[in-house]
Structure 1
Amino acid sequence: MKSLAFTAATLAAAALVWHAVPSSAEPARRVPAPTADLVAPPAARTETAVFAGGCFWGVQGVFQRVQGVSNAVSGYAGGDAKTAKYDEVGSGRTGHAESVRITYDPKQISYGKLLQIYFSVAHDPTELNRQGPDTGTQYRSTVFAENAEQARIAKAYIAQLNQAKTFGKPLATTIETGKPFYAAEDYHQDFLTKHPDHGYIVVNDWPKIDDLKKLFPESYRSAPALVSAAAKAG
C-alpha cells in the first residue's frame, strides 16, 4: 500500500519497482470468435468498450495496436469517483479494477472481435482476482458493459467459451454494468510505448503485443493509437 502523501512523480517511481516481477501467465491462444455479436448502427461513428484484465499498462498497449481503435485510455472502473486514484485503488478496497476504455469504429471492428482479442491475448480470463504477478480485486477480469446489449454479448460469449471448455477450466471473468470509468493519472497513459525497456513491460506485456501480431494479423497495426496523440487531435 502506498502513502497518500506520495507525489505523482514518487508514485510513478514506486509503481515501476512494484511491478518489476516476473509473469506466470499461460501462453496465449486465439479463442473461437463469439457466435453472437453487436451490429453496428448505420450512423454509428464510434463506440466504447471497457475491459479490466490485470495491470492496465499491457491491456492498453494491446488495444492501442488494434485496427479500428482510435483511443485506449488506462483508468479505473467499479468504484466511486473519490477513490479513483492509483494509490487508493492499489489497496484493493475501493471496488475499482484497473481498466481500459477503448474507443473504436464499429464499421472497422466489432465489439465481439474486441472481446475475442481480450480473451485471447490481453489477459488470462481464468485467473481470479489476479493476473500473473499482480494480486487483488483491482486486477480482476471484468467486462464493464456500457449497455444491456454489450452485457448480453459478453455473457453469451463467456457461456460459449465455458461450454466448449476452451480454457480447460471456468472463466473468472465477471460482467459489471452501470459503473463509470475514470481515467488514470497521466504518467500511466501510453506506458508501454514510453517505457519499452522497463522490466515489467518486457516480461509481461511485450509478449502480449507479439501474440496479437501472431494470432490476429488481420487486426494488428504497428503504429499505436496513443492517448497523447488523441489529446493533441482533440
Structure 2
Amino acid sequence: MTACESLVPAGLGRRLAARLIDVVAAAAAMFAVSIVLGVLAVLIWFGSPGSGSSVDTALLGFVLTAAVLAAHAAYEVILTVRHGATVGKAMAGMAVVNHQSGAQPGTGQILARHLMLHVPPTVGCAVAVSMFEPADMRAWAAIAAGAASWALIGASAAWNPRRRGWHDRLAGTVVATADSVPAGPPPPPKPPPSAPASQPAAQPEPESWGLVSDYYTTPTDRTGAHCSDRKNPKRDQRS
C-alpha cells in the first residue's frame, strides 16, 4: 500500500469544527496584535506635531488592517509548516500533508493554500462593500460576499472524492486524519542476496503491486485509483 492509499481524508464535519476553533484562536491573536499596535500608534503617531489629519487616520487604519491580516496568516502558516496543523486541526486529530507522499508540505505549499483559501473571500467582501453607499448596506454586503465565497470553497471540497477543495488542489495538499499520516519515510529495500561466483546473478523479480498493477505499470504512475481527484479514473492505455 502506497502512502497516498493509506491517507484517510478528514470529514467535512471535523474540518468545520476545526475551522471554528481556529477562528476563535486567530481572532484572539489578531485582537492582541491590534491592541498593541493601536497603543503604539496613539503614543507615537499622534504625539508628533501636525499629525491627526484624515490622511494620517486613513493610513493608520491601513497599517493596522495589514498587521492584523499578517498576524492571521502567521498563525495558520507558521503552525502548519512547523507542526503540520493549526490549533483547531490538532485538536480535531487532523493534519495537512502532501496529497501523494503523505509528507509534511513545504512553506510554499502552505502559503499557496492559505492565500487561495482567504484571498477570494477578502476580495469578494471588498468588491461588495465598494458597490454599496450606506454603511449598513456595506456591512450586509460584506457578510453576504464572505458567506458565498466560503460556501463555494466548501462545495469544492464536498464534491471532491478526497475532500480536496480548490486551495488543496492548487497547493498539492490534503487534510487527512492524523492517525493515517505516515510516521516517517519508508525503510529502504533490502539488497538481494549475492549469487555465487560460478552462477550468473539472478535477475530480480518484478515488484508485485496487487490490484494497482492492473492500472499502472511504472512506479511514477502508481498512485492508486482512489488517490485521484476524479470519481471514475480511466485505465491508462498501454502501448
Bin the TM-score by the shorter chain.
under 0.3
Q: TM-score, normalised by structure 2?
A: 0.24
Higher relative contact order (CA 8 A, sep 6+): 1
- TM-score, length-scaled by structure 1: 0.24
Larger helix proportion of the pair:
2
